[in-house]
């Protein structure tokens, strides 16, 4: 098994604040895509009610996750985000299984 890390983070956004949260996250998304250890950093809106944001992350190693959390582009986000959320961010860390995340056209 590789050192790769997959995380799923769920952000329960306060009523009426969804667009504000998305706009706050947008610059951090772009910056994170450029981080050396980032393989995937994809933001989604859930179809559940009330809607939440779900971030699916894939990193080359646990060290890449630690480096990500220390990036300056997250400082403003992490300062402002708690006031826009209901509760804390729920993060589930997963270990990928070989062949369990096949890319179309690859075996």
Per residue of the chain (107 residues), give pLDDT as tens.
578 899 999 999 999 999 999 999 999 999 999 999 999 999 999 998 888 999 999 999 999 999 999 999 998 899 999 999 999 999 999 877 777 766 554 44
Q: What is the pLDDT of residue 97?
A: 74
Residue 59 lies in a domain: yes
Residue 34 lies in a domain: yes
CB atoms within 10 A of CB 13: 21
Whole-structure pTM value: 0.84
Q: What is the pLDDT of residue 95?
A: 78
Number of domains in the chain: 1
Residue 23 lies in a domain: yes
Beta strands 53-59 and 5-11 are: antiparallel
Residue 106 lies in a domain: no
Q: Which residue range forms the structural domain that includes residue 70?
A: 5-94
For residue 13, what is the domain's CATH number? Answer: 3.30.70.100
Euclidean distance between the first and the last CA atom of the chain, given in angstroms as a whole number: 17
Residue 103 lies in a domain: no
Q: What is the pLDDT of residue 103?
A: 59
Cβ atoms of 43 and 14 within 8 Å: the answer is no
């Amino acid at each position: 098994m590789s050192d790769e890390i997959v995380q799923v983070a769920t952000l329960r956004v306060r009523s009426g604040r969804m667009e504000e949260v998305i706009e706050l996250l947008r610059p951090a998304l772009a910056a994170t895509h450029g981080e050396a250890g980032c393989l995937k950093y994809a933001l989604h809106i859930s179809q559940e009610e009330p809607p939440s944001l779900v971030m699916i992350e894939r990193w080359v190693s646990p060290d890449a996750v630690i480096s990500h959390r220390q990036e300056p582009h997250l400082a403003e986000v992490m300062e402002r985000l708690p006031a826009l959320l209901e509760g804390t961010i729920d993060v589930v860390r997963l270990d990928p299984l070989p062949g369990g995340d096949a890319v179309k056209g690859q075996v």
